[in-house]
Amino acid sequence: MSSKVKVKFRDYDIYKLAICGPGKVGKTSICKRLTDNIFIQKYNPTVGAEFHTYSFKTSKGKAVALFYDMAGQKRFGVVRKLLYRGTCAAAIIFDVSNKESFNECADWIRELREQSIDLDITIVGNKTDSVREVERVDAERICRKLGCNYLETSALTGEGIGLLVKSLVESAISYSKKKFSGR
């Protein structure tokens, strides 16, 4: 009888996903909705970053998505840049009831592209339950020009959250396959 114990440190795949965008657009609310299926009314700004996990199954078995909920304020730019390493997919969130938050998406794309050129980026119009300043057709047209996917969500009602998770996870899996196959 052998006294050796076989230890397996990780029996599942891990995918790192960045959730970023300006402050007060609902990044943390989206993360809470997708990981815990809750909506918290009281807004507390994220300091640096928060981490949320989402478990799912793939054809290879169990997997975990690590959502890095990045603070939107400019002063946390240094922290974000440190955390982008190893990211497999990203979502830039904006508030459809705040046109300025949509205009800021270009800066976020630039920040992400500086870190990982081949990364799939999804622009997400959140707060679709609100009065709009940004119309869906306009956002879709601009996202096509920028080479980004576009989705809409409401963290309040949960609308579009499942599709967002599915899209980000698929992008992350595709990115990981590409990265590790050398293509």
| 4 part of a folded domain | no
pLDDT in tens, 40-70: 887 777 777 789 999 988 877 888 999 999 8
Q: What is the CATH number of the domain that holds 158?
A: 3.40.50.300
Query: CB under 8 Å to 108, separation ≥6 — which residues?
Result: 20, 21, 22, 92
Q: Is 111 in contact with 22 (CB distance < 8 Å)?
A: no
The predicted structure's pLDDT at residue 7: 46
How many structural domains is the chain composed of?
A: 1
Instruction: Write the pLDDT tens digit of every residue in 134-148.
Output: 999 999 999 999 999
| Residue range(s) defining the domain that contains residue 88 | 13-181
User: 152 falls in which pLDDT band (50, 70, 90)?
Assistant: very high
CB atoms within 10 A of CB 135: 11
Q: What's the pTM?
A: 0.89
Is 166 a domain residue?
yes
Mean pLDDT of the chain: 88
* pLDDT of res. 116: 67
